[in-house]
Structure 1
């Protein structure tokens, strides 16, 4: 009995460690993208990024069997929609980086768990009680404090980032939905293929010659994207999602630190307060999810 407990603890500790490392790597990737989009079109950066990620994804999927097997899906429309949403999400985030500091964008991105909850209601049929609706309201207030409409000119980057949050939230919900019907390999291969086709169809018309330094940066983006996503997937194999979810909010302090180190910009106190409200609301949503899981587990045991 003690051995089993130790193993589970070790697995959770390993999952947390992998999550923290992946968050740090994601932050490095965002810094590299921020540097690139100051001189090159976001569509070009996203296109080349998907080329690199697609090669890695296809090689990864081929290790598990013939590639044609991964293309067999019970939900082709949903799989194609996921791919489109992910490309639009990355387009929006990359475009937002042209206009706003990374830390401010990540403060707005803290709305993500709230947005996922809202989309899960009509799509997954999840029921939301008064407590979770209250958390959604607090998260919205936090976002309004960050954006401050009416008190300052709303930066166009805000709208791009809100688009990124909305599309990634919907992408996440659809990913949960297709996971009930298709394998992870199928979801990965559709994401890669749709991403390459769509990003290339747009990016190829906005090509700008890149310097050696730019190619090194885009190489860093591709490597960090692949490594971070792999570590993230490994983390969820080591520990349950409910145990790891709170650590995803550490992307905000990581982004604040990176923004200060590389760009010398501090997030202002008002935005930090708004982000704290949004993070708190997201953590509350996570806590309610854990409570529901425990109730279901008890009912099953009975």
Structure 2
């Protein structure tokens, strides 16, 4: 990718990506609330893998160059891990709602920081550990364990966040030998193949109107990734990453206005702590970079 340094354009693309991903979450919740989660994710991945293959075919060297890797096992595991995480996340939307799920899920940057030591061998200083601790307090405020109202299902987005953090770290590890294009190719193809092996067993008829929603889900999935790719081409990740938290705001608006969800004060307080801790961690990475 040819790196530019147009920060305003990068910020605009990141905000656009968060809007698209929030719409994707809403459509996923609607479809997975009616149909089997595995089938919904499988069809979405068929389109995503076609998008990835089309990108690879247009790049120099074509599909063969994109698929070339010295670590196929790692690349396949990454792809399978991400599609499994998406299944867990979408299931969380259906049982917990968009707001509660995403409010917990946004702790994943802190999990990345915590796991970067054991997975990548990076040093994690006391300031980052303090930020991780604050983020954990935020998660506990949202989940309210021991208050007599704790729902075991609330752990689902936490599992999803852990899986996504591990995926992010393995992607960083894979980047030591493979290009971004190669990792992106394997993410789509390995995810589609593994999801098809599972999802076909759960196929069920879909209403004609919902096929339109399914098409919208496929388009938002591909366009969201395209916007992120363009965003990181335009500006450094450290400059635009704080704006990724807009995803939570758009999702909250969607959850309240479309699905009739409520915004509990505990969710606001906990999410605020998680976002603040995440931004501090990002700032520390930028200072050390």
The TM-score normalised by the length of structure 1 is 0.91
Which one of 30, 37, 46 corresponds to residue 51 of structure 1? 46
Q: Deviations over 1:89-142 (max 9, x none)?
A: 101011111101201111001211111111211122111111111001000010
Task: State the partner residue of 2:33.
Answer: 38
- Alignment match, 1:188: 184
User: Any residues of structure 2 matched to 1:72-91 within 5 Å, and which?
Assistant: 72-91=68-87
Answering whether residue 83 of structure 2 is matched by residue 62 of structure 1, we say: no
Per-residue Cα deviation, 1:242-286 (whole angstroms, up to 9, x for no partner): 101111111111111111121122210111101111111101101
Q: Retained in 1: the 8 A contact 2:52–2:184?
A: yes
Partner of residue 143, structure 1: 139
| Aligned CA distance change for structure 1 residues 201 and 153 (closer, same or farther; 3 Å) | farther
Q: TM-score, normalised by structure 2?
A: 0.95
Two-structure CA RMSD over aligned residues (Å): 1.3
Q: Distance in 2 between matches of 1:157 and 1:243?
A: 35
- Name the structure 2 match of 1:109: 105
Cα distance in 1 between the residues matched to 2:125 and 2:188: 37
- Residue 15 of structure 1: aligned partner: 10
Pick from 254, 271, 277: which aligns with 1:258? 254
Unaligned stretches of 5+ in structure 2? none
* 8 Å Cα contact 1:98-1:157 kept in structure 2: no
CA-CA distance at 1:214 after TM superposition: 1.3
CA distance in 1, matches of 2:152, 2:230: 36
Classify the secondary structure of the residue corresponding to 1:19. Answer: helix
1:4 alignment counterpart: none
Whose Rg is larger?
1
Q: How far, CA to CA, are the matches of 2:220 and 2:281 in structure 1?
A: 29
